Each structure stands twice: as structure tokens, then as C-alpha cells.
A = this chain, B = another copy of it.
Amino acid sequence: MAIVPRLLENPQVTTTVMFPPQQHNHNTKGTTMSFHYLSNTPLEKALDEYINILINNGMKYKTEIIPVIKSSGRITATAVYATFCSPHYNASAMDGIAVLASDTFGASETTPITLTKQQYQHVDTGDPLPDGYDAVIMIEDVINIDTGENGDIKLYEAISPWSHIRQIGEDICAGEMILTSFMKISPSAVGALIAGGVSEVTVIKQPIVGFIPTGDEIVPSKTIPKTGEIPEFNSAIFSAMLSNYGAVPKVYDIVPDNKEKIKNALKSAFKECDIVLLGAGSSAGREDYSVSIIGEVGEVVCHGIAIKPGKPTILGHYKGKPVIGLPGYPVSGIIVLDQILRPILDLFNKTGVRKKKYTEATLSKSIVSSLKYKEFVRVRMGYVQDKLIAAPLGGGSGVVTSFMRADGIIEVPQGVEGYSSGEIINVRLLRPLEELQQSLVVIGSHDPLLDELADILRIKHGDILMRSAHVGSMGGLLAIRNGQAHIAGIHLLDEKTGLYNESFIKKMIPDGNIHLIKCVKRQQGLIVKKGNPNNITGIADLNKDNIRYVNRQKGSGTRILIDYLCKKEGIDTSGIYGYDREEFTHTSVAALIASDSADVGLGIYSAAKLYNLDFLHICDEEYDLLIAGHAYNLPMVQKLLTELNSDEFTKRLNNLGGYCRD
């Protein structure tokens, strides 16, 4: 057994280590910056100065001692040395016989050497090398040996010393450094540490990050919220993000808009956490609250950062412990965590600031950005003809699905007013590129059947991801023409002929090379409240008094249809209340009617059925799939066409209701 080497000291008990200020050679002094009231500080400047101030005010990371067996994925806080050798004895590496190599010297086919029973010993793999021997001959090579009754054996080949022996320390020597400081412990490193006799290791303690939701209108997500109540789900999003960042999230109870209560919550959070996130309510008034509270408990470093979303962010600290005042809207919070908290956590965790992955893509739609802010635009992405397309997702900072659906983020720098459609831009990836290679880009008119189709494809064909964007039938046609989509759902009525789709395609894509797949006939009609309390009988009733209409966006097939129907019946649409209230899906039209925010809207039967509303059937229209020529033979498109004719899809169509197929 090897001696435990003198080098080793017991790892110190849990301790806090100050960041060496050298790590950040900025010119800022140890003092905090002057308090900005709603400044518009550029992101990079704000972050640099903030980190500096935190470090100079003693921001600390902690270490802890944990069993090696639980240490995978953690970061070493000190160099780790082996305390014994592996293997710790000379072991046979084979099944065979142990011999003294010198006894075999000179052996050959012509001059064999005889070994007596005393000169060899049988060993199995892993057996210790018996004393007096220094080599092992493999059992395979012992086959051609004549064994006399006395156990003598003949060798026809010499062997060199230490053959087929795992010598002491072959893997690890006692006293060797197994890992340096600040290394991520991999599964094999866990094995190496145990093999080296290390059972406990000092690692970076994962910082505890507390989140305090505030606001009178905020209610726990479990309860079904009343009107005016906003369910609190930011904590769920942030907790998941924090865990991914290697932090330990700690969510506090919702605090009402009471300055003293928020103040106390903040104070106790500082006692329990390494970093505190203070959730602002959504109102502007609320946020000033947070500023003064943070200012009273600790110090405000910066209020207002030139990013969108995320502008009203507050950066502060209490004795070097970071506190960040987060905007109330989920997407704003996500961006601030990603842009500001993450690099601070990387510093804490000693992982080294993780690089973000960027790639070039073609923009499918122009982006207009404010010169005042660095703007973070969520985009859906996919490969069309080997060209990576980035399609901006709508939705403000309150629309969490816009982030859920995002495959990437375009960071439009401050002072840049945007990018135009078709431009090649740099996109930060939120998913691995491989995943995007499997995505089927469907842009065009909305129908719930697309989601069902996506689900069937996912179930039957695993790796296909259908990414659909609802931009209306005309938008779909354009996307196909511009090579920005594989497939478009369209239902465009030609007023003159009364026929669907063909004429529009001929006009927009004269040179053809597209496939029009008949998909379904679906019922279009007026969606009205259950029991039709407003006694709506048809289009003619839409401009009656006290009738609140809800419309679809321009360019959508349904909008074109309602325009046509009104024209036909000679109705002045300017007289229809809410005609300019535009929604992007049939579902949202139905949702507004179901919740009595509108009385009537044109839409498909399945949407009415979904919300258990009444439906006045007006016409059957053809909802078809337009497939780009270059995409038609792609395996994923062919699979989609197969599923289009599957019983499963028919079953789901019947479930949705209002569809028929010939």
C-alpha cells in the first residue's frame, strides 16, 4: 500500500472566498455608481459596472464539502490529489500463469525451457502478483505446453518482465493531482477520484437565488383567477431557468403592494439567499416602489437598462449580494435573467462565462426596432432549401408562448432601426441546429388541424418538428413564393369564379413548381353566443346596434371572405362595430365571444364547437395545402402526406368537427 503523501491537507471546511478583483480590470473604483432614476444605460456598460461594483463590495462565492459519489457535474473549488494508488497492488492483467521472466529468457521453438511447479503459479485477472514473480503468461499462450505428471511445463517463448501486469499506479499515483481547481467533475472523474482514494471533495456551493413575487393582483397559479387577478407563473419559469444555470431557486410567497411588507421580505431573503430577485408588479408605479425599497435596504446601482423587453430593470446590491428588480412581464424577466443574471451566476459557479451560440439566417419579415434600445426579437427557425430562415414571432413581453415557440433570438443593437426582409442576420440559437434541420416549416392560414397533424407526425415519426406560423392565406402564398416555407395552408376565395385557391396561386406564383394538395372542406359561418341571444340571422345583422363584431387580420382567407360577403350584401363595413378588431386565429375569435368580449365573428365550426358556441353555417370552403416544389419530395413532407390520409387524422378531424373530405 502506498503511503498517504505529505502533500495532502484536509480540505478546509465550508468557507467563502472573495473574487480576486484582478479578474475584472475595469477602471471603476470600489465605490457604487451614482443612482440613476430610470436611466437608459446600455446593457454591456450596465453589466460590466454592476459586476465590478458587486466584486468590489465583496460579492462572494461559497464552497462546500460533498461526497465524491454525489459530485458529478459540480465544480471543484480546490485542486484534488489522489490519496492512494490505483491499482494499489501489482495485479495480473490476464488469466494465466505468473512466472519470473528471467526464468524464461532464451526459450524458443528450437530451445524450449522447462519450468517446474515451483517456478510458476496460476493467476486470474485481478489477482495479486505472487511474491517472487514479475510477469504473467496469458492462458492462451499456455495452451501449447506439455504438462508432465510432476507439473513441469515447457515454454517455447521468452517473456519480458512486467508483461501482462497492471502495475501499482498504472492509473493513478498517490499524491498526483487528479483535478485542478474550478473543473467540472465528469462521471469518469468521479470514478478517478474514488479510485484515487478521495471520498469527499470541496466544490463550489451552488448559489441560492431567491425570487419574491409582488403585487396585489398576483394570485398563486393553483387557484382559478377571477377577473383582475393574474396567476403567478413567473416563479415557475425562473426556477426552471435557475436550475439550468446551476443555481438553487428559492421562491417566496407573493407579497402585496405594501412597502413595509416588501421591505421585510427583501431583508429576510438577503439572510437566506446569495442573490435576490424582486418581482415587480406589472404597473409602472409599482416599479418605483421597488427602486426606493432596494435603495433603503441596500444600494441601487442602476435603474433602467436600454433593452427591450426589460427596460425598467433595477440593479442593486446589499453588501455585495446582488438584488435585481425584475419587470413583471414574463418575457422581460426571461431576457433579464438570461442577459444579466446568467453571467453573474457563471462568475459565481466558476464555470467561466458561457458563450452563446450564434448562426446566420435569412430574415423572412422586416423587423422595426427602436433606436433607443437593444431589442431581443424572438424568431422561429427552420431550413428551407438548405437556407436557414428566421421568422419573427409576434407578441409583446406578456406573451410567454412567443418565447416558448422561439428557436432563436435576434439581438438588434441599440441605434439600429431594424432589418429588412431577406437580409442575412446573426441569430442567437436557443436550440441545437440539428433540431432545426428536422423542422417542417408551415406558414399560412390557421386551422387547429395543423396542430393535430403536428402531433401525429411527432408520435409516428419521432424526430419531425412541425413549426407553423399563422400569417393568413396570403402570407402563406408569399412565404412559398419567397422560398421561406415548405408548406402553406390556404383557403382563398376568388370572388369572380367562386372557386378557391387556384387563381390566386396562378397570379402569385406564375412559374408554378408547386403542388396543391386538397386537404379538407370546412364549414365557415358566424360564431355567436350559446342560444344566439342577439338573434343574429346572417351577415345583414352585423351592423345592427349593440352588436360587437370581432374580425380576423387582413390577408387571412376568412377576412377576405367576410369582406366579400359584406360587399355582396351591400353592407358598409365601416358601420360594423369592431370590424377593425383583428385576431389571428379562429380560436381567439371564439374565445372573445365565449367570454362575452364580442358577440359575433366569422370563423370555422371547430372553433365554435371548442367553446360550445352556436354556429350559423354560411359556406363550405376548401382549405388546401400548398407545397413548394423543392419540398415535395422531402421525407418529412411525404410522411405528412401519408398521415393526411391516415385513420388517426380522420378521427381527429371528426373530433374537431365541421370538416369533410372527398
Assess the A587–B454 pair: CB atoms within 8 A: no
Label chain A's interface by main secondary structure.
loop
Smallest CB separation, A312 vs chain B (Å): 11
Given contacts A284-B95, A451-B177, A581-B162, contact A227 B128 (CB under 8 A): yes
Oligomer: number of copies:
2
Query: Which of B125, B182, B594 interacts with A459 by CB under 8 Å?
Result: B182
In the complex, A658 Cα to B285 Cα: how many Å? 69
Interface residues in A335-373 by Cβ distance below 8 A to B read 350, 352, 355
Asked if A188 is at the interface of the complex by the 8 Å CB criterion, the answer is yes
Which of A40-48, A400-408, A565-573, A617-625 is the contact stretch?
Answer: A400-408
Against B, the Cβ 8 Å flags (1 = close, 0 = not) of A457-471 are: 011101100100000
Confirm or deny: A69 has a beta carbon within 8 angstroms of a beta carbon on chain B.
yes
Are B89 and A228 closer than 8 Å at their CB atoms?
yes
Instruction: Please determine whether B284 and A592 come into contact, CB atoms closer than 8 angstroms.
Output: no
Q: Are B190's CB and A458's CB within 8 A?
A: no
Q: In the complex, what residues of B have CB within 8 A of residue A141's CB?
A: none
1/0 per residue, CB under 8 A from B, across A577-620: the answer is 11011010101101110110100000000000111100000000
Partner of A404 from the list B176, B192, B462 (CB cut-off 8 Å) is B192
Residues on B with beta carbons closer than 8 Å to the beta carbon of A328: 125-126
Q: CB within 8 A of A233: which of B91, B174, B195? A: B195
Cross-chain contact A181 with B228 (CB below 8 angstroms): no
The residue that A171 contacts in the complex, of B95, B186, B400, with Cβ under 8 A, is B400
Partner of A1, one of B134, B139, B595: B595
Task: Tell me which residues from 455 to 512 in chain A have a Cβ below 8 Å from any Cβ of chain B.
Answer: 455, 458-460, 462-463, 466
- In the complex, chain A residues 11-59 whose Cβ is within 8 Å of any chain B Cβ: 20, 22-23
9-residue interface stretch from A109-117, A235-243, A313-321: A235-243
Is the CB of A293 closer than 8 A to any CB of chain B? Answer: no
Of A149-157, A217-225, A303-311, A514-522, the stretch lying at the interface with chain B is A217-225
Q: Which residue of B180, B197, B239, B398 is within 8 Å of A166 (Cβ)?
A: B398
Q: For A243, what are the chain B residues with a Cβ–Cβ distance below 8 Å?
A: 72
Interface residues of A in 157-189 (CB under 8 A from B): 160-162, 166-178, 180-183, 186-189
Q: Does A424 contact B (CB under 8 A)?
A: no
Range, interface on chain A? 35 or more
- A282 CB-CB contact with B under 8 Å: yes
A398-B228 contact given A169-B591, A655-B7, CB 8 Å threshold: no
What B residues does A7 contact at CB under 8 A?
A: 610, 655-656
Q: Are A594 and B167 in contact (CB-based, < 8 A)?
A: no
- Interface contact B240-A187, CB-CB below 8 Å: yes
- Is the CB of A637 closer than 8 A to any CB of chain B? no
A262: Cβ under 8 A from any B Cβ: no
Closest B residue to A124 by CB, please name it. B283
A231 at the interface (CB under 8 A from B): yes
**Residues A180 and B451 in contact in the complex (CB < 8 Å), given A2-B595, A175-B587:** yes
Q: A128-B227, A199-B221, A237-B191 are contacts. A2–B462 as well, Cβ < 8 Å?
A: no
Closest to A191 in B: B237
Q: A20-B460, A187-B237, A192-B401 are in contact. Are A174 and B124 (CB under 8 A)?
A: no
Contact of A161 (CB < 8 Å), options: B124, B126, B169, B580: B580
| Contact (Cβ within 8 A) A95 B283 | yes
Give chain A interface residues in 76-109, CB to chain B under 8 Å.
Answer: 79, 84-91, 93, 95, 102
Q: Tell me whether A3 and B398 are in contact (CB under 8 A).
A: no
Judge whether A330 is part of the interface by a CB distance below 8 angstroms: yes
Given the contacts A187-B244, A282-B125, A350-B462, A192 and B400 also touching, CB distance less than 8 Å = yes
From known contacts A1-B595, A180-B451, A182-B458, infer whether A126 and B283 are also in contact, taking CB-CB under 8 Å: yes
Contact A400 B458 (CB under 8 A): no
A463 pairs with B217, CB closer than 8 A? no
A199 touches B180 (CB 8 A): no
Does A448 touch B at the CB level, under 8 Å?
Answer: yes
Interface residue? A6 (CB, 8 A): yes
- Set of chain B residues within 8 Å of A466, measured between Cβ atoms: 180
Q: How far is the CB of A337 from chain B (nearest CB, A)?
A: 9
B176 touches A458 (CB 8 A): no
Known: A22-B460, A170-B399, A352-B462. A241 touches B187 (CB 8 A): yes
A interface with B by C-beta (< 8 Å): 1-3, 5-7, 20, 22-23, 68-69, 72-73, 79, 84-91, 93, 95, 102, 124-128, 134, 139, 160-162, 166-178, 180-183, 186-192, 194-195, 197, 199, 215, 217, 221-222, 224-225, 227-228, 230-231, 233-234, 236-241, 243-244, 281-285, 328, 330, 334, 350, 352, 355, 395-396, 398-401, 403-404, 434, 438, 448, 451-452, 454-455, 458-460, 462-463, 466, 577-578, 580-581, 583, 585, 587-588, 590-592, 594-595, 597, 609-612, 655-656
